[in-house]
Chains A and B, each alone.
Chain A
Amino acid sequence: MTTQHNDSLLRFMTCGSVDDGKSTLIGRLLFDTKSILADTLTQMDRTSKKRGLEVVDLSLLTDGLQAEREQGITIDVAYRYFSTGTRKYIIADAPGHEQYTRNMVTAASTANLAIILIDARKGVLTQTRRHSFLAHLVGIPHIVVAINKMDLVDFDQVTFEKIKADYLSFAEQIGLQRAGRDIQVVPLSALTGDMLVDRGDAMDWYQGPTMLELLESAPAAHSEQNEPFRFPVQFVCRPHASDDKDLHDFRGFMGRVESGEIAVGDAVTVLPNGYTSKVKAIQLGDEQLQSAITEQSVTLLLEDEIDTSRGDMIVKSDQAPEPVKQISGMVCWLSETPLSTARTYIIRHTTRESKAKVGAIEYKVDVNTLEQLEAQGLAMNDIAKINFKLAQPLMVDSYSKNRATGAFIVIDESTNNTVGAGMII
């Protein structure tokens, strides 16, 4: 028997609070895909009994740190893993209360699919709107709306259809339903397992895919694949002092293909300086590649000797962006210290850094009502449209087209903390 290596990988996140049954949903997915091992299960069983429960509480699986157990809350994004044999999954599990925006934006930044949980008894709530807006803001391409706790509404189809219609009309209103994004709605019960991994027999009226089928069939490939080629240089390899004479002129530009693809012979431009050359070779370790695709980490060798260093970006000559010294973006503030318009911050964009000053805060968004409000400053969890003036030029794309070259973080130089997350408009 040979082992399967060619399965794909999907990163997804779950949005919802403990009350929506999020922990139970994750626990159930892991349990029903047989990803929980016996010793963990025994420990969960023991804890469940200690708390006076008759069946194993699957939500205990996502019980994290000591401090969290003591306070009965979740503090931070946790990452969990399971595999179905055809696909490997990375779940970003974001907590549902305080610091929610900050944590959700963090979890969403690496997710390709979001599960938005709705309690079937409660329907579309303010928090559902908030989750959906944030999923939209962070550009998650696939949305699965899980109408959970169907067991508590007698698996009633009418209830499901009503919530589904409510949600879809709201989704249209905020522009969630846009080209290239699909929204699926599935009824389920994480507690009983119906429509999660197994269909069960309580909801024969639903003919659509189960939750797991949706996860298994969602495209894992990033939409950045069809975007222009972007290759931020991370590190330059110049082993000229090596004993090997052949390496004296070796100059390898190391990085990850953030979008698009590149092949040997392609004409490239190195930004911000604008030098041009052609790709001589593409290497991965000792392998010589003819081409490289999005998310591949490779080393590029160019035909000409070009002075290039970390922070530069290699692009295809006919797809070069214009370096800019001013950017405008939606910024989520992550720090307990409020944004100060008087201070200078550092912006990290791909592998490049620049000092930055706030030009203007155009407006702040109320994540619950989606209203645009006037703002003088930003506190933690605020989301606002901000213009920055930059000391160094950046090579940016709009975030809605390219998550990798449209994203940036704001760093506070005094603490070195990451204080903001930005998405270029």
Chain B
Amino acid sequence: MTTANKTTLSHLDWLEAEAIHILREVAGQCSNPVLLFSGGKDSLCILRLAEKAFRPGRFPFPLMHIDTGHNYKEVIDFRDQRAAELGERLIVRSVEDSMKRGTVVLKSEDESRNKHQSVTLLEAIEEFGFDCCIGGARRDEEKARAKERIMSFRDEFGQWDPKNQRPELWNLYNARSHKGENIRAFPISNWTEMDVWQYIERENLGLPSIYFAHQRDVVMRAGSIVPVNVPLASGEVINQPKAGEEIINMEVRFRTVGDITCTAPVISDADTISKIVLETATTTITERGATRLDDQTSDASMEQRKKEGYF
């Protein structure tokens, strides 16, 4: 395919070029990076960007997923399928293994495992000696993220210190670290939810089916739509309705996917990417506001989790 000459870059071309540059800086500066890949839409964009950055070569990093064990089967299947199509190595480390080791202790059996991913991630970083983790976080997602660097330094405990970040100027990224420390690199920092959907549309990227409108059993709990009786890949069924809750079968889709216990869907009949783009353009609710049960606990909950090593 040959493309006509350009004179200026459109905003998507610019964002793409910036992200490719960041990925190549990671490859050039870090000796043992890893790309965190969940099967979600943001990390699927990063996989496409990595193809554009490194093909016809192989990716200069493996893919890794920190699995809480409470992920939608559709997403896990898609994750495995995509990694296989790309022919790249996928490492999976699970929160359940950390629980078995005793490094993750849940307060109660039904406590969300989401925030405990940090522990498993740090364990995996140590196990493989990774000096950089590439992630799909975006600055528009949440206000603690608005101040995060593109190359964000973490100390030996994986901690982010918002008051003491490395200055980041021009596109001269500093991804240097000493042994034990590491860098979190965010190639799509400057993308918004809309940019992600427009890029998925333009690049014709495949997505797990739960991003599209589908019928699902849910209950209304504290103002959120909570999916119930969700089957896991293991055959186990989680999120049982509580006594007195009425199960409603509703047409919904997910705007973000993550741990089942903290990700809520939105009511939607958008069953194609172009319909989702339109819906994103007209929505009145922020991405996390509607869908992330873990950010609603306090004004500073993301900031708190990040200081503890969360992505």
Contact = CB atoms under 8 A, between A and B. Distances in A.
Contact of B285 (A38, A239, A408): A38
Contact of A285 (B8, B51, B304): B51
A65 B162 contact: yes
A409 interface: yes
Interface string B291-311: 000000001100110000000
Interface in B154-205: 162-163, 165-172, 174, 176-178, 189-190, 192, 194-195, 198, 201-202
Contact of A237 (B3, B57, B289): B57
B237 interface: no
Contact of B167 (A90, A291, A421): A421
B139 A310 contact: no
B250 interface: no
Given A234-B25, A238-B57, A297-B24, A8 B11 contact: yes
Interface string A35-49: 001111000000000
A7 B11 contact: yes
A141 to B, nearest CB: 15
B285 A83 contact: no
A190 interface: no
B147 A78 contact: yes
B278 interface: yes
Contacts of B192: 81, 83, 88
A69 B140 CA distance: 19
Contacts of B56: 237, 239, 242, 244, 247, 250, 252
B172 A256 contact: no
Interface in A330-359: 334, 348-351
A20 interface: no
Contact of A293 (B8, B28, B289): B8
A124 to B, nearest CB: 28
Interface in B227-272: none
A221 interface: yes
A173 interface: no
B167 A102 contact: yes
B89 interface: no
Interface string A277-314: 00000001111111101011100000000000010000
Given A65-B303, A76-B162, A88 B25 contact: no
A418 B163 contact: no
B1 A287 contact: yes
A75 B24 contact: no
B108 interface: no
A5 B168 contact: no
Contact of A75 (B16, B17, B18, B163): B163
Interface in A199-242: 220-221, 234-235, 237-239, 242
A37 to B, nearest CB: 5
B146 interface: yes
Interface in A41-93: 63-67, 69, 75-81, 83, 87-88, 90
A288 B6 contact: no
Given A37-B289, A238-B57, A296-B9, A409 B14 contact: no
Interface string A383-425: 0000000000000000000011001110100001110010000
B185 to A, nearest CB: 14
Interface in B117-147: 139-140, 143-144, 146-147
Interface of B: 1-18, 20-21, 24-25, 27-28, 51-58, 60, 139-140, 143-144, 146-147, 153, 162-163, 165-172, 174, 176-178, 189-190, 192, 194-195, 198, 201-202, 274, 277-278, 281, 283-286, 289-290, 299-300, 303-304
The 9 closest A-B pairs by CB, nearest first: A297-B20, A285-B52, A39-B289, A9-B11, A66-B300, A38-B284, A416-B176, A109-B169, A234-B24
Given A5-B202, A88-B195, 9 more contacts: A6-B10, A7-B11, A8-B8, A78-B147, A83-B192, A109-B170, A256-B171, A293-B8, A404-B170
